[in-house]
Amino acid sequence: MATDIASRVRPSLAGFEPYDPAFSPCEVNLSANENTYPLPQDVRDGIVQALTTTPLNRYPDPLANELRTELAAWHGVGRECVMVGNGGDELLFNLLFCFGGPDRALVVAPPCFEEYKNFAKMCETEVVEVWRSEQDYSLDADALVDAARGASLVMLTSPNNPTGDLVEPTLVRRLLNETDALVLLDEAYVEFAPAGASLVPWVKDNPRLMILRTLSKAFALAGLRCGYLIADPQVIDVLAAIRQIYSEDVLAQAVALRAVRSRTAFEPVVRAIVEEREELAKTLAALPGATLWPSSANFLLVRIPGAAQVRARLRDEHSVLVRDFSYAPGLSDCLRITVGTHDENERLISALKAILEVE
């Protein structure tokens, strides 16, 4: 008799599908908001050295203390305010594992990063969705504050993926003052926003505010899997107690430490991406029928008639991969395009112009 494994899965986990990054091998991949620029040479040399000198026979330091210390010094907080994770994703999951659960709710503001909702469901947490405006994707501050009054956790993204906008600090202030929820501000892309956009400095006076950051974007280390949370030491202590003890491996810790120590070397790369973003935004906005939203991140959201076909033709005829969101609620005919190098962006533009028959 056949054994039906699916029926034995814990009910809250039934029906989940493996994550599909919608990846097809292409010469130009602008689909996953990675940093496509080469690593600065000094950083590359430091990383090679770290990889060749780090012993693999010993277990990692569970809390990655050397890396925590470096991150803490950078952000002007104590080490006890920093937790490192196997990508931001692990920290997001652990936050829901800790602070979610039956009879608790997470408030999100879609369209936003889908994993918040997935992790909440896995952790049996109700998800309350406060949708952004269909016209300009602005947040509904009053509705968010109302929803947060009954919730354990709020997750907002600044800049938001995929809409590119920053969360107004006044909204975060209201959530902290007018509700009792924990507030996670996901700043995965904040290095690409104007200086001063990060709310990390607020953490020390606001024990319910938590900031998520990652080395996957500005630091061009998406493959390494290293993210970190800046929060009140009480939050960090809880996360320290429930985490997978060795989730951050020795190589990831050593490489991340080199990269964070060399953080100023990434500044020219980030500046170049921001300049390219503004150029690309102008060109995309001028395409026939296109609507473009301003972005403070390393990607742009654009609405183009027939987006799904445009994306397929970019991939199949021009070997350029972008992300199609036209299937997603609130994002009809939207493509999300990572800002690449100058050459990659040129290639994207000429491919788009060929498809849309623009001179």
CA angle 198, 203, 206 (to 5 degrees): 130
Residue 187 interacting with ligand PMP (CB under 6 A) = no
Among residues 125, 198, 214, 253, the one that binds ligand PMP under rule CB under 6 A: 214
Alpha-carbon span 191 to 132, nearest angstrom: 23
Q: How far is the CB of 286 from ligand PMP (least distance, A)?
A: 27
Number of residues that bind ligand PMP (CB under 6 A): 13
Residue 186 interacting with ligand PMP (CB under 6 A) = yes
Residue list 79-108, contact with ligand PMP (CB under 6 A): 87-89
CB 181 within 8 Å of CB 191: no
CB 182 within 8 Å of CB 131: no
Applying CB under 6 A, which part among 130-138, 214-222, 254-262, 315-323 lies near ligand PMP? 214-222
Q: Which is nearer to ligand PMP, 216 or 345 (CB)?
A: 216
- Looking at residue 90, the DSSP 8-state letter turns out to be H
Among residues 37, 93, 99, 113, the one that binds ligand PMP under rule CB under 6 A: 113
Q: How far is the CB of 183 from ligand PMP (least distance, A)?
A: 15
CB 329 within 8 Å of CB 111: yes
Q: Is 330 left (phi over 0), alpha (psi -120 to 50) or beta?
A: left
Q: Which is nearer to ligand PMP, 31 or 341 (CB)?
A: 31
Contact pattern from residue 217 through residue 236 relative to ligand PMP, giving x for each residue in contact according to CB under 6 A and a dash for the rest: -----x----x---------
Q: Which is nearer to ligand PMP, 32 or 265 (CB)?
A: 32
Q: Which is nearer to ligand PMP, 33 or 118 (CB)?
A: 33
**Interacting residues of 143 by C-beta distance below 8 A, sequence separation 6+:** 130
Residue keyed to tokens 């080490």:
79
Residue 111 interacting with ligand PMP (CB under 6 A) = no
Peptide bond just before 159 cis, omega within 30 deg: yes
| Closest CB to ligand PMP: residue number | 87
CB 86 within 8 Å of CB 226: yes
**Interacting residues of 60 by C-beta distance below 8 A, sequence separation 6+:** 246, 248, 249, 250, 253
Q: Which is nearer to ligand PMP, 60 or 88 (CB)?
A: 88
Residue 33 interacting with ligand PMP (CB under 6 A) = yes
Coil, helix or strand at residue 239: helix
- In degrees rounded to 5, what are phi and psi of residue 184? -100, 120
Residue 46 interacting with ligand PMP (CB under 6 A) = no
Q: Helix, strand, coil: what percent of the chain each, to 5?
A: 45, 15, 45
Alpha-carbon span 192 to 87, nearest angstrom: 18
Residue 60 interacting with ligand PMP (CB under 6 A) = no
Q: How far is the CB of 211 from ligand PMP (least distance, A)?
A: 12
Residue 216 interacting with ligand PMP (CB under 6 A) = yes
Residue 248 interacting with ligand PMP (CB under 6 A) = no
Residue list 123-162, contact with ligand PMP (CB under 6 A): 157, 161
Q: Which residues bind ligand PMP (CB under 6 A)?
A: 33, 87-89, 113, 157, 161, 186, 188, 214, 216, 222, 227
